[in-house]
Amino acid sequence: MKTKYIIITPALNEEKYIRYTLESVVNQTLKPFMWIIVNDGSTDLTGQIVREYTKKYGWIKLINNVHNTNIREAGSKVVRAFYIGYNYYKIWDKEYDFIVKLDADLTLPQNYFEEIAKSFKNNARLGLCGGYCVNEINGILVKEKSPSYHIRGAFKAIRRECWIDIGGFKPILGWDGLDEMTALYKGWETKTLSLEVIHHRPTASAYNSFGLAKQHGMANYKNGGNFFLALVRALVRMFQKPYFIVGIGFFLGYFKAFMKRYEKNVNDEFAKFINCFHTQRLLKKIGLTYDKNCVNS
């Protein structure tokens, strides 16, 4: 039986890049059952460009969310746009093997989804997977550093059963890390595959670095991160461009949430798992072992 998958793409003012993504998908060796593109309040030609393709390919669907403002907001806004497409076409009633959240500024290898399908077929416990990100910066391709378990939210594929088990995406900043932690907590595997995905808009280029770093710090607290690991993350970010600014912003955001005891998005048991998981990774990097069973901690 042929693999069936569904793509949902939130798009906001992507006229400069969206043809890359459109051409990448229509030329896939394994094409989607349905591709829903949510034009999320664009004021440029994004909608018109997509409309050209809907006339050629019946499986491409366009939704114009005209009630939305054309302001970028990290995290929650893109998930809300995703669910506009998900709910409009009642995806929960559709038969499919995996669902994909795909950004509108990417170039995918021609066999991208064929390889995704093979990976799911070959490993019944694989819940989430995707390629690795290469950012196009001033015409130069730079590979983005990322741990092997983490799949960028820009091109994330999720097995249907895993999607149901983790309850889908949460409309919060940090959703594309929390979904993976939830999957791992519930016994699924996640994996980055050897598939290069070119990201034409550099990661976070549309946001203020310091302000976004503060938001990420607050999100880290709300998503269960403990103080020690937050401090480590802040120190690591000190040595990332723009130097010091991102690290300071992250720590200030975390510290504010910590002092004001912001409401968390996870319960205590899940938070313990998250911190145990990342502590194991940290100790492994410095050559130490930590064999504690995180799930039963």
Among 223, 225, 157, which residue's Cα sits nearest to residue 193? Answer: 157
- Position with higher pLDDT, 295 vs 140: 140
Biggest distance spanned by C-alpha atoms of the chain: 57
For 135, the token pair is: 């950012």
pLDDT per residue as tens digits for the range 119-153: 999 999 999 999 999 998 888 899 998 899 999 99
pLDDT per residue as tens digits for the range 45-63: 999 999 999 999 999 999 9
Residue with tokens 């998908």: 25
Average pLDDT along the chain: 92
Where does residue 241 rank: exposed (0-12), middle (13-18), buried (19+ CB within 10 A)? exposed
- Count of residues in the chain: 297
Confidence of residue 297 (pLDDT cuts 50, 70, 90): very low
Pairing of strands 5-11, 34-39: parallel
**Amino acid occupying residue 223:** N
Q: Coil, strand, or helix at residue 108?
A: coil
Q: How far is C-alpha 239 from the geometric centre of its chain's CA atoms? A: 24
Q: Are 37 and 128 in contact (CB under 8 A)?
A: no
Rounded to an integer, what distance in angstroms lies between the CA atom of residue 69 and that of residue 31?
Answer: 32
